[in-house]
Amino acid sequence: MDNWSRDASLAHWNTFGVASRAEFAARVTSVDELENLLAQLNERGLPLTILGGGSNVILRARVPGCVARVDIPGIDVEPIDDGARVTVGAGVRWHDLVRYCLGQGLYGIENLALIPGRVGAAPMQNIGAYGSELADCFDSLTAYSTDTGVSARFERDACEFAYRDSVFKRRPELVITSVSLRLSRTWSERSDYPGLNEMLKQRGGPRSPTRLAEAVIALRRYKLPDARQHGNAGSFFKNPTLPNARFVELRAADPGLPGFETATGIKIPAARLIELCGWKGRQLGAVGVWHRQPLVLINLGGATGRDLLNVADQIKADVAQRFAVDLELEPRVLGVD
């Protein structure tokens, strides 16, 4: 247990910056280290909680057992067809991967520039932004089962990717250790997401994957708070998907309400519902609702996980009362109070 910290502060292991403590904390940089750690935890009957960059979690005051951050490194490029299969260690920072691939002339993830966190967490909620999601260029991943002690490969279908969802949310025993993407040397521009094309035009110059990534970064820097200044976890709520008839009713009351057709119904922006309930820019104790994007809650200083969840409950109640729409949290809640 020499490489473990006892009674460890997790304040720097979550981008909300909320105070939380773990009985033990450790970093694992290989599958062997993960196996080793598990053997020791099993001997002592301690549970394991996995973290990447902590940018999609709400930590309660205490996390029992051991919190392990997956720091497995490595990027391996194997040429295939008109591109490459890129296999990446779960601990690599997602945005570092985006930059690396652009530098190698490999395209497909440039719309996902500047999403915080690690590659190992990207499949968890099938990260997505600006008209693109991980599933678009996903090849396979390797996950280690803490139940069986065996590593297995998961092809795309087995991952059950959906909007901010995958099978891994329902299988906490699986630790993702590497992810493979299929990227192309031929770029197909995806800039039809609202605001992106305008940003590209405004910035001028010829279109290229790098310029698109820069436009995405500029939009994100304008819209979202910098977690180093205002602790946050990006979107706090998922965008709800409604049956067509319900969408038509809501649109009758709010003709400007946008709707995006999906396989399961019409997806609408939760931000608009939250704004119409008067929450945009509001502050409640140490919790704020970001003035440029009301989907984002921020830690104004000293907020706890419980404070964040209390404000989220009030927002959910207001949206449910006014629109009869249930908002679902996007970040995972870990630990106990």
How many beta carbons lie within 10 A of that of residue 60, not counting itself?
18
Q: How many residues does the chain have?
A: 337
Asked if 122 touches ligand FAD (CB under 6 A), the answer is: yes
* Interface with ligand FAD, residue 319, by CB under 6 A: no
Does position 178 interact with ligand FAD (CB under 6 A)? The reply is: no
Q: How far apart are CA 151 and CA 145, in angstroms?
A: 6
**Is residue 104 within 8 Å of residue 77, measured between CB atoms?**
yes
Binding of ligand FAD by 68 (CB under 6 A): no
Residue of 10, 15, 38, 60 interacting with ligand FAD (CB under 6 A): 15
Burial class (CB in 10 A: 0-12, 13-18, 19+), 26: buried
Which residue has 């990006």 as its token pair? 234
Contact flag: residue 55 with ligand FAD (CB under 6 A): yes
Residue 232 engages ligand FAD in binding (rule: CB under 6 A): yes
Query: E strand or H helix at 299, and its extent?
Result: strand 297-299
**301-to-17, 154, 286 alpha-carbon distances in Å:** 9, 41, 6
Strands 332-334 and 57-59: parallel
Residue 59 touches ligand FAD, criterion: CB under 6 A? no
Residue 192: Cβ within 10 Å count? 9
Residue 88 beta carbon to ligand FAD: minimum distance, rounded to whole angstroms:
11
Measured in whole angstroms, the distance separating CA 115 from the mean position of its chain's CA atoms is 7
Active site residue 164: yes
Of 209-228, binders to ligand FAD (CB under 6 A) are: 224, 227
Among 17, 83, 108, 120, binds ligand FAD (CB under 6 A): 120
Which single residue is written with the structure tokens 């997505």? 128
Smaller CB distance to ligand FAD: residue 118 or 316? 118
The answer to whether residue 35 is catalytic is no
330 in active site:
yes
Catalytic residue, candidates 69, 118, 164, 272: 164
Q: Using the rule CB under 6 A, give the single segment among 19-27, 232-240, 255-263, 275-283 that binds ligand FAD.
A: 232-240
Binding site for ligand FAD (CB under 6 A): 15, 50-57, 70, 90, 115-118, 120-122, 124-125, 127-129, 175-176, 224, 227, 232-234, 332
- Catalytic residue list: 164, 235, 330
